[in-house]
Amino acid sequence: MISFRNVDVKFETDKGVVHAVRNVSFTIEKESVFGVIGASGAGKSTLLRTINGLEKLASGEVAVDGNIVNRLSSRQLREHRERIGMIFQHFNLIASRTVAQNIAYPLKIAEKGRAFIETRVDELLKLVDLEDKKHAYPAKLSGGQKQRVGIARALANHTKILLCDEPTSALDSETTRVILQLLRQLSQELGITIVIITHELDVVSAICDKVAVMSEGRLVETGSIYDVFTSPREEYTKKLLDTRYDFSIPEEILEKIRRVNTEQGRYWKIVRLDYIGEGANEPVISRASKRFDTEIDVIHGKIEYIQGKPYGRMYVSVCGERTETEKTLACLAGQVRSIETLYEAS
Ligand SMILES: Nc1ncnc2c1ncn2[C@@H]1O[C@H](COP(=O)(O)OP(=O)(O)OP(=O)(O)O)[C@@H](O)[C@H]1O
Ligand SMILES: [Mg+2]
């Protein structure tokens, strides 16, 4: 388990003190995949680097399996770092060395014997499915293959914690999917704790169990992916997550709804419905439209699965006689997590 207790990190710069991490406390369970999200400059990388002692604390405590990182002697810190791997957005491979030599690098640092290194490198190549690239140089590899080398190198010393700083930000979406699947699989099969920093919310929802949201050095909130993504408690998180669903109703559609309903003397509203859990599968719309004398049209909708559970957002227009429209909306409101009116007849 990794735990942060009242962690503060400050940097002295020419322009004064930068308070990069402010009083952060939370824990990351063993063998879980944990995401850290937040805007640029929020302090994510700095926080990550406190786990392997690359960043000094101004105050507070970071503990890994009960060992307080900021109190380790330099020898203990060296051993501690050996058990923690790290991967990066730009892979950070050594260009003048082959795939095998890159992977062998941390084993050499740890002064392992030649035979041991050879066997271990082959094992690692197999683990990340790169056996055929053993003698290739990084320049000859695709982004996804480079990140596989990065992962193999990070895990070389039978690492139990893998820190990932924007591991897929330089990869296309299909390669991202494959790399995330590999990370998830490694976490499960090898019992590795993975901490991933990313600005890609889809990365977090695809593989993380839990997430921490950071802003301006502070922890905004933390919880299971499903809870935070479907029911964020903080305004900051809501805004951050809304960017995933970016959708504005096209002006032509809005104009048409206004015009047609005004001509026919009908009342109308356009609402946004958020569904969670089992409710997302239920035909709420068709049921409501059968019960009331109103017309319900779906303008836009998206359902996704987070940790295997459905979460959906839908934009619908409801029109008809005023009281029937209000009754329809009340009925919908009783069946979804939230309903918000975006436009209505003036
Ligand atoms: N070595 C350093 N010296 C001075 N200031 C630093 C140093 N490292 C980070 N900072 C500052 O600390 C704050 C947090 O930086 P950090 O890199 O942790 O943010 P981040 O959330 O990882 O951002 P990004 O998403 O852009 O990578 C920023 O204001 C940054 O400028
Ligand atoms: Mg960063």
Q: Which residue in 166, 185, 177 sits closest to 128, CA to CA?
A: 185
**What pLDDT does residue 312 have?**
86
Ligand closest to the CA atom of residue 44? 1
Question: Of how many residues is the chain composed?
Answer: 346
Best substitution site from 7, 10, 11, 86 to test ligand 1's pocket, by max atoms within 8 Å of Cβ?
11
Could you give the CA distance from residue 306 to residue 231 in angstroms, rounded to a whole number? 12
Asked if the model's pLDDT at residue 98 lies above 70, the reply is: yes
Q: Whose CA is closest to atom 8 on ligand 1?
A: 46
**What pLDDT does residue 242 have?**
83
46 CA from centroid of ligand 1 (Å): 6
Q: What's the average model confidence in pLDDT over 290-313?
A: 88
Asked if the model's pLDDT at residue 201 lies above 70, the reply is: yes
**What pLDDT does residue 202 have?**
87
Asked if the model's pLDDT at residue 307 lies above 90, the reply is: no
Residues, beta carbon < 5 Å, ion ligand 2? 45
Q: Whose CA is closest to atom 30 on ligand 1?
A: 41
**What pLDDT does residue 325 have?**
93
Q: What's the average model confidence in pLDDT over 241-254?
A: 85
Ligand closest to the CA atom of residue 15? 1
**What pLDDT does residue 346 have?**
81
Which of 92-96, 112-116, 305-309 shows the lowest mean pLDDT across its residues?
305-309
19 — pLDDT class (breaks 50, 70, 90): very high
Tell which wins on pLDDT, 97 or 247: 97
- Domain coordinates of the chain in residue numbers? 2-244, 251-344
Average model confidence (pLDDT) across the chain: 93
**What pLDDT does residue 310 have?**
85
Tell which wins on pLDDT, 346 or 77: 77
45 CA from centroid of ligand 2 (Å): 4
- Rounded percentage of the chain residues whose pLDDT exceeds 70: 99
Ligand closest to the CA atom of residue 40? 1
Q: The pTM is what?
A: 0.88
Q: 2-244 and 251-344 share one CATH topology?
A: no
**What pLDDT does residue 306 have?**
87
**What pLDDT does residue 305 have?**
85
Q: Whose CA is closest to atom 6 on ligand 1?
A: 11
Residues with CB under 6 A from ligand 1: 11, 13, 18, 20, 38, 40-46
214 — pLDDT class (breaks 50, 70, 90): very high
Go through 5-24 and write b for each residue having 16 or more CB atoms within 10 A of its CB, e for each that does not. Answer: eebebbeeeeeeeebbbbeb
Q: Whose CA is closest to atom 31 on ligand 1?
A: 41
97 CA from centroid of ligand 2 (Å): 27
CATH 3.30.70.260, domain 251-344, yes or no: yes
Per residue in 50-83, pLDDT tens? 999 999 999 999 999 999 999 999 999 999 998 9
CATH 2.60.120.10, domain 2-244, yes or no: no
Atom of ligand 1 nearest to the CA of 43: 18
Best substitution site from 10, 15, 18 to test ligand 1's pocket, by max atoms within 8 Å of Cβ?
18
**What pLDDT does residue 282 have?**
63
**What pLDDT does residue 280 have?**
61
Q: What's the average model confidence in pLDDT over 128-139?
A: 96
Asked if the model's pLDDT at residue 246 lies above 80, the reply is: no
